[in-house]
Structure 1
Amino acid sequence: MFSHIFVSVKDFDRALNFYSAVMLVLGNEQRFCERERPWAGWHSPGRSRPYFVICKPYDGQAHHPGNGQMVAFLAKDRQTVVAAYEAAMRHGGTSEGGPGLRPEYHEKYYGAYFRDTEGNKVCVATHGEL
């Protein structure tokens, strides 16, 4: 469905540190990192698309996190959701709801919500059993 998703940041190095830690836990591979541009992207193992990118806004204007917008990453299991959330907290994220079941979505939905170092809302979720 998706080719790629871009999330803008103002402090690239801080965001790179944050997302590198979260992507490592999720098992995603770094596709590229060009500090001079600056932008970096990750994709699922063995796949080139879709991919996730952090960058400064293309138009050169200030970054503003969107209200009501969120990027959700798929985790292989509940332990990975917990580990990704903990990595996010250790690397400057802020909690928007710790790991846990969210039966209002469906009976096996297990997710965690947080803001990245720029205020963008992020989710890590799994939809299966333990």
Structure 2
Amino acid sequence: MLDHVGVTVADFARSLAFYRLALAPLGIDVAMEVDSSLTGGSAHAGFGSEGKPFFWIGDGGAVAAGVHVAFLARSRAAVDAFHRAALAAGGVDNGAPGLRPHYHPNYYGAFVRDPDGHNVEAVCHHPE
């Protein structure tokens, strides 16, 4: 079981704003910020819920290509809202909301590329 995951971003402020808007429909927001004075040079923000950060962004390193992260949504409507919010925040469509039955019959997901090109997904596994 994973506790948390982190990705490096090229522009911390831009990515912080993107993820705040894109993840809000999923009930995910900044749970913790660590500034450069505490780390010796890089800034980090942990997104999560109920005070527990589980997805971190940080600057100060090389941005890795090919990163994919999927966030669990409570409903298909939340997947739709994530997709709209992510596009409004500057994300690029990488797969409109819809069923992906090749994963399983109730797999409902949407995909966007964040400002660094990371493939970000919201997925709901419940039938509606």
- Shorter-chain TM-score bucket reads 0.7 to 0.9
Match of 1:128 in 2: 126
Counterpart-to-counterpart distance in 1, 2:100 and 2:23: 23
Give me the CA root mean square deviation: 1.6
Structure 2 unmatched ranges of 5 or more: 37-41
The answer to whether the 8 Å contact 2:96/2:110 transfers is yes
Match of 2:112 in 1: 114
Q: What is the number of residues matched between the two proteins?
A: 123
| Aligned mate of 2:56, from 36, 53, 56 | 53
Give the Å deviation of 1:85.
Answer: 0.6
Give the Å deviation of 1:35.
Answer: 4.8
Matched, 1:73 2:77: no
Match of 1:41 in 2: 46
Runs of 4+ residues over 3 Å off in structure 1: 34-37
Structure 1 unmatched ranges of 5 or more: none
Match of 1:13 in 2: 13
Counterpart-to-counterpart distance in 2, 1:48 and 1:31: 6
